[in-house]
């Protein structure tokens, strides 16, 4: 690679995420200002955003082999359709109906709700992020800690490559759990539609970038965003590496609660779950959490040491690393 191309690539790696995120937020804000319905506006930004991110994976790949389909496209398309598009549209009205009495109580008590609607919009979105991320951090951490929850979350960790569509790979049951901290506090607080729409665009663009095969370099911003350089470690096959960086959009709660992980001297080697034969089809993945710990090979319980060493070898960490 010549020096000019190298410079272009490194500049693109630094700028690509902040630029696409800013443009996406600006676009949805302008659409809302022009009176477009929030559901249409969010979709009108995320759809071309997804296409752009898929193209950027070709132009600025992190790993060439991760651009090759693993027979996962159909499964991930169905996950995207069900978990990311259908489930939120079902959960939101259900939560509204359930919480309507609480909203009424808060509105009566605090005059128009307690949300700071007079703050500049950018601060309101930052506040939504801080609150939602706190809840998501603990739901995500619990999903890695408690086996019944992990069986659902293993669906998300099962792919052997990272690309933008992994952002949608969630079991529908787990997706409901993740939506609760993103919706309940804001229904109760009376957060306005504008701030929530900007949050969902932020969440969508960040999520697709976070799982993408784009070479993103964020420097000090890795202490703010839960972006690729950190999130790839979260998908490592090695549990002591993947039980870190739980942040969905922001990494702040990992910094606060001691799960931040960013080895600068090496890259993640192997991602996925222990079982190379984890179900790959959509329906098989829906059933998987109810069929035991399919993320582990069938004979794992008989020889756990063998598998632990095998994974360590694959991940190249037989020598104790500094954490
Ligand atoms: Zn996880």
pLDDT tens for each residue of 122-151: 999 999 999 999 999 999 999 999 999 999
Q: Are 278 and 154 in contact (CB under 8 A)?
A: yes
d(CA 87, CA 172): 7
d(CA 167, CA 212): 8
Collapsed DSSP state (helix, strand, coil) of residue 191: coil
d(CA 271, ligand 1 centre) in Å: 12
- pLDDT per position as a tens digit, 55-97: 999 999 999 999 999 889 999 999 999 999 999 999 988 888 7
d(CA 235, ligand 1 centre) in Å: 7
Q: Are 271 and 235 in contact (CB under 8 A)?
A: yes
* Token pair for 11: 């500049």
* Token pair for 308: 């632990």
- pLDDT per position as a tens digit, 29-52: 999 999 999 999 999 999 999 999
d(CA 140, ligand 1 centre) in Å: 6
Q: What is the mean pLDDT of the chain?
A: 91
Give the residue among 91, 273, 50 at the shortest CA–CA distance from 175: 91
Give the residue among 238, 248, 228, 225 at the shortest CA–CA distance from 323: 238
d(CA 151, CA 211): 20
Give the residue among 12, 17, 20, 33 at the shortest CA–CA distance from 197: 33
Q: Are 62 and 215 in contact (CB under 8 A)?
A: yes
d(CA 34, ligand 1 centre) in Å: 38
d(CA 247, ligand 1 centre) in Å: 9
d(CA 240, CA 224): 22
Radius of gyration of the chain (CA): 20
Higher pLDDT, 317 or 39: 39
d(CA 118, ligand 1 centre) in Å: 36
The per-residue pLDDT for 97 is 77
d(CA 68, ligand 1 centre) in Å: 23
d(CA 246, ligand 1 centre) in Å: 6
The per-residue pLDDT for 10 is 86
Ranking 143-147, 234-238, 265-269, 280-284 by mean pLDDT, the lowest is 265-269
The per-residue pLDDT for 111 is 56
Question: In Å, what is the CA distance from 243 to each residue of 140, 168, 307, 310?
Answer: 10, 20, 18, 19
d(CA 157, ligand 1 centre) in Å: 6
* Token pair for 78: 């169905």
């Amino acid at each position: 690679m010549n020096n000019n191309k190298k410079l272009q690539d490194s500049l693109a790696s630094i700028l690509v995420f902040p630029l696409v995120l800013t443009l996406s937020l600006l676009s949805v804000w302008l659409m809302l200002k022009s009176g477009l319905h929030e559901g249409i506006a969010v979709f009108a930004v995320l759809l071309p955003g997804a296409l752009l991110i898929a193209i950027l994976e070709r132009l600025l790949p992190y790993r060439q082999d991760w651009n090759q389909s693993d027979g996962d496209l159909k499964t991930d398309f169905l996950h995207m359709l069900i978990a990311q598009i259908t489930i939120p549209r079902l959960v939101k009205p259900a939560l509204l109906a359930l919480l309507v009495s609480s909203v009424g109580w808060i509105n009566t008590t605090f005059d128009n709700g307690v949300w700071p609607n007079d703050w500049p919009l950018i601060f309101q979105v930052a506040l939504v992020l801080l609150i939602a991320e706190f809840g998501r951090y603990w739901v995500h951490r619990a999903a890695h800690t408690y086996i019944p929850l992990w069986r659902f979350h293993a669906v998300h960790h099962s792919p052997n490559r990272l690309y933008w569509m992994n952002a949608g790979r969630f079991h529908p049951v787990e997706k409901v759990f993740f939506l609760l901290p993103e919706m309940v506090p804001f229904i109760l607080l009376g957060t306005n539609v504008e701030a929530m729409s900007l949050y969902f665009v932020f969440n969508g663009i960040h999520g697709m970038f976070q799982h993408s095969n784009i070479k993103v370099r964020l420097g000090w911003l890795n202490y703010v965003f839960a972006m690729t350089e950190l999130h790839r470690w979260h998908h490592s096959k090695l549990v002591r590496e993947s039980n870190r960086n739980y942040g969905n959009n922001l990494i702040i709660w990992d910094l606060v609660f001691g799960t931040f992980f960013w080895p600068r001297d090496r890259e993640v080697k192997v991602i996925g779950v222990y079982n190379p034969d984890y179900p790959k089809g959509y329906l098989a993945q829906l059933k998987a959490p109810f069929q035991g710990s399919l993320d582990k090979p069938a004979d794992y319980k008989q020889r756990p040491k063998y598998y632990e060493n095998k994974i360590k070898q694959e991940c190249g960490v037989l020598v104790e690393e500094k954490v």
